[in-house]
Chain A
Amino acid sequence: MSHATHGKGDAGIGATDGIGDEPQSTKEQVVSYLLGLTLASLLTVASFWAVHTHLIYGPGIPVALLALAVAQMGIHLVFFLHITTAPDNTNNVMALGFGVLIVCLLVFGSLWIMAHLNHNMMSMDDLMRMQR
């Protein structure tokens, strides 16, 4: 099975025979890269548009930007880095999943803890008043 998979070419990360299970011709691969470029450009334009628009509820704009950024990262992973569901890619996908877990723990954990500390800390004015 493994032999048959490898016989088709390079199915792993950064593969140079396309992103599907079947090998693609060079022309098809150029089209695939162009598709990735177009989707990433559209998401970039949408991000810059979202900052100035009044269509989105103001406090929701950072959430919209986060969603657009995650979507664009997905586009990059699939079309440029060729992270796929091919058997040769299983280890890469699992490592990516673990990396995403660590990143989420680090970023959201820091934000959560620091927000709580800010909330529980006496304000600087009160602190000054006590020292007088």
Chain B
Amino acid sequence: MSGAAAASASGATDAPTGRGAGGPAPQRIIVGYGFWIFLLSDVVMFSAFFAAFAVLMNATAEGPSARQLFDLGNVAVETACLLASSFTCGMASLAVAQRSQRWTQVALLVTGVLGATFLLLEVREFSRLVAQGAGPSRSAFLSSFFTLVGCHGLHVTAGLLWLGTMMAQFLAKGFRQDIRHRFLCFSLFWHALDIIWVGIFSLVYLVGVSA
């Protein structure tokens, strides 16, 4: 960056122009970009599960169909929990930008409680389905359903563990730059999980019930 400043100061005509001029981007831009690439690869993996579900949606092997199994009230509450937790995660990133330990911890705690509620509802739904004899081994439709939604649930579980780690690190180490970069990655991960859930509740539950 000092090179660009010196070039502009001397009025040199061959100073670099366009994107990338003035040296490398700050570390937080690069960290965000790298993690964004990972998230997109995760989305590509989910899209394969979405494709499998879309192909197998009607392969019920004369077993129960989506319309008979899915409880949309439960799905609506799960959706509300995850959307609200995405919002409180955004509030946490604002609190981190303000270096407010109290509000960071409060916002992250609310995010975690909402995420845990979502997970609890999902586990309850899965156990209800298995108890009805509609487990993953019943039909190709249910295999692809449990793979897709279960994979998202595993991601939320990993996100909750990561969230707890972030709370502890903010408490123990304060708002150091490397901790803030980790938190940036966490918040991107959490928002991306909500985006994938938008696909699941619309294209799995709602399309499944309306089909």
Contact = CB atoms under 8 A, between A and B. Distances in A.
Contact of B203 (A2, A69, A77): A69
B79 A44 contact: yes
Given A10-B28, A41-B83, A95 B40 contact: yes
Contact of B47 (A47, A102, A114): A102
Contacts of B43: 99, 103
27 contacts: A2-B23, A3-B23, A10-B28, A12-B29, A12-B33, A16-B93, A16-B96, A26-B97, A37-B83, A40-B83, A44-B80, A47-B206, A50-B206, A69-B199, A69-B203, A73-B195, A76-B194, A77-B195, A80-B86, A80-B90, A80-B194, A92-B33, A106-B48, A106-B51, A107-B50, A107-B54, A110-B55
B162 interface: no
Given A48-B206, A90-B19, A92-B32, A76 B195 contact: yes
Interface residues of A, number: 54
Contact of B40 (A76, A80, A99, A109): A99
B5 interface: yes
Interface of A: 1-3, 6, 10-14, 16-17, 26, 29-30, 33-34, 36-37, 40-41, 44, 47-48, 50-51, 61-62, 65-66, 68-69, 72-73, 76-77, 80-81, 87-88, 90-92, 95-96, 98-99, 102-103, 106-107, 109-111, 114
Nearest to B33: A91
Given A2-B23, A66-B202, A72-B202, 14 more contacts: A2-B20, A2-B21, A3-B22, A12-B28, A26-B94, A44-B79, A44-B201, A48-B72, A62-B210, A65-B207, A80-B87, A80-B191, A95-B40, A110-B51
B25 A66 contact: no
B192 interface: yes
Interface of B: 1, 4-5, 17, 19-23, 25-26, 28-29, 32-33, 36-37, 40, 43-44, 47-48, 50-52, 54-55, 72, 76, 79-80, 83-84, 86-87, 90-91, 93-94, 96-98, 184, 187-188, 191-192, 194-195, 198-199, 201-203, 206-207, 209-211
Given A13-B36, A107-B47, A114 B76 contact: no
Contacts, number: 156
A37 B79 contact: no
B202 A76 contact: no
B73 to A, nearest CB: 10
B198 A110 contact: no
B87 A48 contact: no
Contacts of B94: 16, 26, 29-30, 33
B198 A14 contact: no
Mostly, the B contact residues are helix
Contact of B22 (A1, A17, A65): A1
Given A40-B83, A62-B211, A69 B21 contact: no
B191 A88 contact: no
A120 to B, nearest CB: 15
Contacts of A81: 188, 191-192, 195
Name the residue among A1, A14, A107, A114 with the largest chain B CB count within 10 angstroms. Answer: A14
